[in-house]
Amino acid sequence: MKWFWLSGVVLILDQCSKLIADALLQFNQPVPLLPFLDLHKVYNPGAAFSFLSNASGWQRWFFVGLTLVVSLVLAVWLRRLQAGQARLALALSLILGGALGNLIDRVMYGYVIDFIDLYYGGWHWPVFNVADSAITVGAGLLILDAMRGQKKET
């Protein structure tokens, strides 16, 4: 249970940053910060990398339901971890916090607020948010934990 605080921190940082971005940024008007970073408010009704963003609206409730199921599984998994599984707990907490952050957007607005635009020259990574960052870092840690676990077995 002690790792749920991290999910809460991710959720709060995500929601606060999205509220600030939504209030201060103009839609689809990039604000340059660094030679490789803009603040660029967009609304994403789809999933990662705008997957299904052009669907007719059914995807909102599909992703809400999917996120609820995944979040429940993550919470149960996190609760059942042993004391020595800190990396796995960190990974699951980050993913859970990010998933819940994007879930709130989907339920409240029907889309996710994204505003971080990384790029190099003319190449742009898809615009993302704090929740997406937490999910990505958590997924990387989850993969690392799984690879380390397999390494110990051989």
Q: Where are the domains of the chain?
A: 4-153
Q: Residue 50: what pLDDT?
A: 65
Catalytic residue among 14, 105, 132, 145: 132
| Ranges 38-52, 101-115, 128-142: which has the least confidence | 38-52
Confidence of residue 152 (pLDDT cuts 50, 70, 90): low
Which string of DSSP letters, residue by residue, matches 54-72?
Answer: TS-SHHHHHHHHHHHHHHH
User: Is pLDDT above 60 for 154?
Assistant: no
What's the token pair of residue 9? 């921190």
User: CA dist 106 to 34, 51, 77, 122, Å?
Assistant: 30, 14, 24, 30
Residue-wise pLDDT for 32-81, tens only, equals 999 999 999 999 987 766 666 666 677 788 889 999 999 999 999 999 99
Cα dihedral 99, 103, 109, 110 sign? positive
Q: Is 145 a catalytic residue?
A: no
What is the Cα–Cα distance from 132 to 127, expressed in whole angstroms? 10
For residue 125, give both structure tokens.
């990574």
What is the maximal distance between C-alpha atoms in the chain? 54
Q: What is the rounded distance in angstroms from the CA atom of residue 48 to the CA atom of residue 63?
A: 11
Mean pLDDT score of the chain, rounded to an integer? 91
Per the CB < 8 A criterion, the answer to whether 129 and 18 are in contact is yes
Name the catalytic one among 14, 114, 117, 145. 114
Beta bridge partners of 116: 39, 128
Q: What secondary structure letter does DSSP report for 25?
A: S
Task: Indicate the pairing of strand 112-120 with strand 123-124.
Answer: antiparallel
pLDDT(91) > 70: yes
Say how far apart CA 143 and CA 140 lie, in whole Å: 5
132 as an active site residue: the answer is: yes
